[in-house]
Structure 1
Amino acid sequence: MKFFQTFVILALASSHAFASDPSPLQDFCVAVNDPNSAAFVNGKSCKDPKLLVMADDFVFTMFRNPGNTSNQLGSKITTAFVDQFPGLNTLGIAMARLDFAPYGLNPPHIHHRGTEMLVVVEGTLHVGFVASNQLNNTLFTKVLTKGDVFVFPQGLIHFQLNVGQTNALAFAFLSSQNPGLITIANSVFGAKPPINVDVLTKAFQVDNKLINYLQAQSWFDNH
């Protein structure tokens, strides 16, 4: 009996561990910043679906215009995650528009809660992701052109670089309403308060002057 109980507990725990966003238990749950709301789903309260929800809650218009790529990275990522698009709440999906100037970069980053599928609409992108230590940190990379699709598995470091001489445009589809974002350089060298220099010098096997230099930089966020 104890074995059976343990098995059930482990099975239930595994089902939650392998799940992405929870399956919705209602037609929709348009997010609202109302701490007094009776319904609280996955970190977001819900509008009353019979009284407050309207068609505008299911429309996102921020993809109409190109993002401003006049920055040190030469890229701009416009996200339609649940924080920007409340109608996505509980639906387990999100999108992003990626604009690139010539040779613009979306630097190495992670979406720790969602897999990303990227489709190139204009231009030529060099893309790739790095497998985990278990798979010897193997790099998987391709050059994509208009109409090509590439998938970045959940939680793995990945990037996109415009290798063309013209602007590039892509759209990303993600398997979570809030896939999360960790930009590697920003997180490691731009942490507040900063990570102990001794930790980083040993981790990267460089001297502390280089670490001090990197921590002194202003790490730009292209989102």
Structure 2
Amino acid sequence: ARTHQKIVEIPVEKPVLYEKCEACDRTDYQNAKAKYETQKERLAGQYKAKTVMFQTTLFLLAWYSMTTTLFQALKSDVLLSDCKSIFHDASSFLQTCIGWTIDAGQSVAQISTKIPNAFIAGIIYWLLLILFVGIYVAGTGILAILREIKIIELYKKNCWDVITLLMILTSAVVIIYFGESIKKVMPINLLFLLLFIQGIYLGIRCYLNTLYWTNR
């Protein structure tokens, strides 16, 4: 019997979930899937609607707060005086820089005096002056734009939230309503103080975010 025995393999069909036979149409599975998709779309629509409502409410709150704060700022003589002062200083500094640039361009354009022909020398003088001033102004403008883009990217990456909005409004309100008291304690331009606070806040948020991602 041991020498003549044979191993016979009998095929066994394994059951498959939601499938009793090859002719089954999987009705229960299809119904459950359709119900799941419907519920998923409904919840996604509700979430989107609530998100839009929250963003709209936040925008209206920010608009109202900034509008009332701006109107109150227009009534503050101290703040208006400081704004005029800082813009006047900025324009004076800009005019001084333009004057330095033109003087430097004229110094460079003096190379044209070595040309014996007066007409050609005059043309080259103005070409060199315009070229030097144009390159300097364009380069400075590009660097300023790139710096502003970098600051905006850092702000969006690290500070684009409700906390930043509350901090901006709070610091602006404090400076507007208590500007005279602040000027008595320390003689500083209020607009510069507001920008200085924002810079410190941006630096702190960047440092905290960097520290958080480093420790993860």
TM-score of the superposed pair, with normalisation by structure 2? 0.20
Larger Rg: 2
